[in-house]
Amino acid sequence: MEHPKLRPIDAFPVETSGQQAMCLRDPFNSKNTFVVPNHVFYIICHFDGNHSILDIQSKFSQKYGELLPGDNIQQIIQEIDKKLLLENDRSRDFIEKLKGDFINSTIRNDAHAGTAYEADRDKLKDQIDGFFTSADGPGKPSSSNKTAGLKGVIAPHIDIGCGGPCFAWAYKEIAESSDAELFIILGIAHTGTRNLFVLTDKTFETPFGNVETDKEFLESLHKRNKTDYFEDEFVHRDEHSIGFQLVFLQYLYHQKRNFSIVPILCSSFGEADGDNNSSRQISQFEEFVSALKKTIKESKKKVCVIASVDLAHVGSRFGDRELQDEAYLKRLHSEDTEMLKYAELLDAEGFRNSVQKDHNSRKICGYPAIYTLLNVIEASEGKLLKYSQYADQTNSTVSFASMSFY
C-alpha cells in the first residue's frame, strides 16, 4: 500500500512503563484499543492518503534524524490494517456489518461491562455500594422518599472508576426525591452525527438486567419532528454516556420499581467552539425541544430528566500546553462553578453565554445536554451537590459535577 489512509479514530496520550505513548481507539468498537510509542504515532499520523512511504520516510528523518526502513512502515501498515483501521473495502464492510447488526437487533448490548465497571451483578452492586459510602460519597440513600419534587439531575459520564462517588450524589437525590416512572437521559454523542440529537428505541442491556425504552413516547416524539433523529442511531452502539446512567438507575430500582427510559444523544453545538450557529442548528434545536416538551406533557407520566455530562477537558491529552499546577486547577474550579451558577438559576442563556465567552476554551463536552435540560425542565431552583476533578498521568484533567433541580 503506497499511500495508506487511516480512517477516523480516537487518539489520546497515556503513560505506560514510565514512558509517554499514544492510545488509539476505534470509535465504532471501543474494545479495539491499543497503545503505540510516540514515534510510531508520528508515522501513523501521516497515513492520510496523500503521503507515500517515501514521503513518510523523509518526514521521519527530518524529525528524528534517523533513517526509517520502508519495511518498518509496511509492518505498521499491516498491523493497523489487521485492526481494520485503514480506509479500504475490508474496514468499510466491517463497519457496514456492525451497523446492519445493530439496526436489526432490538437490544443495545452493554459495550462497557467488564471494562468500565464490573460485569458480574453482585460485584457491580458492591462496587456501587462503595461509591456511596466512600469518603467523597454522599452515604447510602434513605429507604423512604423525603419528597417527590425532583425534576432533573446532572450526573457525570466520566469512567465510573474515576468518578463513581460523584455519580452517587446525583443518584442519592433520585433515590430519595423522585417518584419518576420515565427517565429522559440526555447523553453526549462523542462521535460525529448529522443532526443535533440522536434517538434509539432499543432495549438497553446492563449487568442488572435489561432496561426498556418507552417506545410510545419515542414514536410520539418522532412524529412531532420534521427531522429524522433516528438517522444516526448507530452511534448509540458504543456510546457510554447513556449506559453509565442506567447502571446506577438499575442499582437503585432493579426488582424494586418499574421504569422506562428515553435515550437521547446530544451532538456538538458548533457555536460553542466559536463557529457561527447555522440557521439549521437553531431550527433543529427549537424543533426538538418544543417537541420534547409537548411529548412530556402529553404523556402525563412522572418524568425525571438526567443530563449525563462532564465539564472541562484540559491538559496535554486535549491539546493544551499550560501546566496543570495547583493554581491552575483552583482557577478551573472557580470557572466551572461560576458557569454552574447559571444552571442553578435555571438561566439557560446565561449558561450558554458563559460557555461561549471564551469560545469554550475549557472544552465543556456536556454543554449541549445541560443547555437542553435547562430548556426542557420546568423547575424553580437548582443546586450543586458535588464538584470533582480527575487528573491522569498525562498532566490532563477532566472536571465533572452532580446537580439537582426542583
> Which pLDDT score, from 0 to 100, does residue 176 have?
95
> Which pLDDT score, from 0 to 100, does residue 324 have?
86
129 in the same domain as 18: no
> Which pLDDT score, from 0 to 100, does residue 365 have?
93
> Where is average pLDDT lowest: 16-20, 105-109, 377-381?
16-20
What does the pLDDT look like over 239-251, one tens digit per residue? 999 999 999 999 9
Higher-pLDDT residue of 273 and 364 is 364
Query: Is pLDDT at 277 greater than 60 in this prediction?
Result: no
Among 99, 119, 153, give the residue marking a domain's end: 99
Q: Maximum CA pair distance of the chain? A: 70
Q: Confidence band (pLDDT; 50, 70, 90) for 191?
A: confident
Among 99, 118, 135, give the residue marking a domain's end: 99
Angle made by CA atoms 316, 318, 324, in degrees to the nearest 5? 45
370 in the same domain as 268: yes
What does the pLDDT look like over 358-394, one tens digit per residue? 899 999 999 999 999 999 999 999 999 999 999 987 7
Eight-state DSSP code of residue 316? G
Range of the domain at 51: 10-99
Eight-state DSSP code of residue 268? P
Cell 429522559, residue? Answer: 184
Cell 460525529, residue? Answer: 192
113 in the same domain as 93: no
Q: What are phi and psi of 15, to 5 degrees?
A: -120, 130
pTM: 0.90
84 in the same domain as 159: no
Query: Is pLDDT at 350 greater than 60 in this prediction?
Result: yes
168 in the same domain as 76: no
Mapping DSSP to helix (H, G, I), strand (E, B) and coil, where does residue 247 land?
A: helix
318 in the same domain as 193: yes
Answer whether 207's CB lies under 8 Å from 167's CB.
no
> Where is average pLDDT lowest: 20-29, 35-44, 156-165, 196-205?
20-29
393 in the same domain as 291: yes
**What does the alpha-carbon distance between residue 9 and residue 41 come to, in Å, rounded to a whole number?**
12
Tell me how far the alpha carbon of residue 189 is from its chain's centroid. 6
> Where is average pLDDT lowest: 166-180, 235-249, 321-335?
321-335
> Which pLDDT score, from 0 to 100, does residue 271 have?
44
**What does the alpha-carbon distance between residue 154 and residue 309 come to, in Å, rounded to a whole number?**
7
161 in the same domain as 42: no
Average pLDDT score over residue span 322-344: 95
Residue 199's DSSP bridge partners are 264
342 in the same domain as 322: yes
154 in the same domain as 84: no
Among 64, 99, 134, give the residue marking a domain's end: 99
22 in the same domain as 115: no
Cell 459510602, residue? Answer: 133
110 in the same domain as 89: no
Q: Confidence band (pLDDT; 50, 70, 90) for 278?
A: confident
> Which pLDDT score, from 0 to 100, does residue 145 have?
61
Query: Is pLDDT at 309 greater than 90 in this prediction?
Result: yes
Query: Is pLDDT at 80 greater than 80 in this prediction?
Result: yes
The CATH number of the domain holding residue 123 is 3.40.830.10
Domain count, the chain: 2
- Closest to 377 in 3D by CA, of 301, 309, 310, 289: 289
State the average pLDDT for the chain: 93
